[in-house]
A and B are shown apart, each in its own frame.
Chain A
Amino acid sequence: MRNTYLWLLQLITGILIAVLLGVHMVLMHLDAILGFFGVDATKITSWESMIERSNQGIWAGLYIALLAVVLYHALNGLRNVILELTPSVRTERVVTRVIVAFGIVTFVFCSYVPIALLSA
């Protein structure tokens, strides 16, 4: 059932991206929605406000979670596309390993930023 679980995860990460990216978009780019709820958007995007949020574990967690789900969703999708064009089990193994390694390195490298900002 390995492929069924991989596909289910693809579905779940898709929904999570919509939610987490939605939060990010509303907060950083969609001033009108924030204004509707009576929040001053200029304050939220200011440097002080950003540093204040970066010190909170919940925001760091949110961005690390967004990074993880985007990486899984994008790289699993890319792997599926490449596997469709590589009719050899050996090539498939290489493709899977390269993609998994790329995903892990990118995750470690990029999640360093919100973790470092926690103590900024």
Chain B
Amino acid sequence: MDKNNLITFKVQRYDPEHDRIPHFQEFMVPSGKCLTVLEGLLYIKENLDSSLAFRASCRMAICGSCGILINNYPNLACHTQIEEFHSDTLTVKPLPNLPIIKDLVVDLIPFFNTHKSIKPYILRQDAEEMEKPTAEYAQPPRALETLLQFTHCIKCGICISACPTSASDRLFLGPQALSQCYRYCTDNRDEGEKERFPMVDTDHGVWHCHLAGACSEACPKGVDPALAIQLLKRRLVSRAVALGKKQQPSSTVPSPAETKPKLPFPGFTVK
């Protein structure tokens, strides 16, 4: 860190036990090349104020814990370079549309519960095979491509905080859960449409998406939830009017008779 190059972090503080409303506190953080917002927050925590609360874990945009609002734009703190903003002041707030627990930490439990409600796993009729699998279900590369981008979701909640419908409708399922509903319904190994459709075909479900597209623009993993929602709508309509062909769920494929020989274990480089 360059001690001469200082940047002001305006951080929203809120402790429900002591504060009535959130307020801002300023910290001077030494900045440097390739420094992320998360590193700035860690500097504050380690050197200036250890009571600052924020979430982080992997520091490489994988775990989805460090979502915050940086200069009024939701992003992952570990995935955002301070330099990107070309400014000597950064405003840091917790993600909107989610209840605040403390400072930059929001309550993600309702978000995870909504995600769970759409049954985000493969549902099949052949319960015995599911319980005691004898082989893998076949999935050709083309079938995988139809859903691959939606599997990249890390459940960070950033799309929910960017979504204008989630801001006005507290019961709205939100782009994350709806896109995951599409991701599983379109999986050629899945047979769970009948169980998932009643969850999304509600007054606060898929039909309440305004198609603002803010979710897709904000997603740090390049997922396009707005597209998934539109494709989910198409799927619901084609089932409602009994149009479009319904694919049969894939069957199991036997394990290959021959497998390639394993590579030898490399020798130790340090004796």
Measured in the bound complex, the distance between the Cα atoms of B201 and A8 in whole Å is 13
A43 at the A/B interface (Cβ < 8 Å)? no
Tell me the count of chain B residues lying within 8 A, CB to CB, of chain A.
21
Contact with B along A1-40 (1 / 0, CB 8 A): 1111111100000000000000000000000000000000
Q: Check B236–A1 contact: CB distance below 8 A.
A: yes
Measured in the bound complex, the distance between the Cα atoms of B197 and A3 in whole Å is 11
Q: Check A8–B165 contact: CB distance below 8 A.
A: no
Partner-contacting stretch, out of B45-53, B166-174, B222-230: B166-174
Chain A min CB distance to B208 (Å): 6
Q: Check A8–B237 contact: CB distance below 8 A.
A: yes
- Identify whether the interface residues of A are mostly helix, strand, loop, or mixed: helix
Measured in the bound complex, the distance between the Cα atoms of B237 and A2 in whole Å is 11
- Which residues in A have their C-beta under 8 angstroms from that of B170? 87
- Chain A, 63-98, CB within 8 A of any chain B CB: 80, 83-85, 87, 92
Quick one: given A1-B201, A3-B203, A7-B207, are A87 and B171 in contact (CB under 8 Å)? Answer: yes
Choose from B168, B240, B241 the contact partner of A84 (Cβ within 8 Å): B168
- Which residues in A have their C-beta under 8 angstroms from that of B201? 1-4
Which bracket fits the contact residues of A?
Answer: 10 to 19
Q: Check B205–A3 contact: CB distance below 8 A.
A: yes
Q: Check A8–B168 contact: CB distance below 8 A.
A: no
- Which residues in B have their C-beta under 8 angstroms from that of A92? 203
- Closest chain A residue to B197, Cβ basis: A1
Measured in the bound complex, the distance between the Cα atoms of B241 and A64 in whole Å is 27
- Closest chain B residue to A88, Cβ basis: B171
Quick one: given A83-B203, A84-B208, A92-B203, are A5 and B240 in contact (CB under 8 Å)? Answer: yes
Question: Can you list 21 pairs linking A and B with CB atoms under 8 Å apart?
Answer: A1-B197, A1-B201, A1-B239, A3-B206, A4-B237, A4-B239, A5-B240, A7-B237, A8-B237, A8-B241, A80-B208, A83-B203, A83-B208, A84-B165, A84-B168, A84-B169, A84-B172, A85-B168, A85-B169, A87-B169, A87-B170
Chain A residues in contact with chain B, CB under 8 A? 1-8, 80, 83-85, 87, 92
A sample of 11 more A-B contacts (CB under 8 A), given A84-B172, A85-B168, is A1-B236, A1-B239, A3-B202, A3-B205, A5-B240, A8-B241, A83-B169, A83-B208, A84-B165, A84-B169, A92-B203
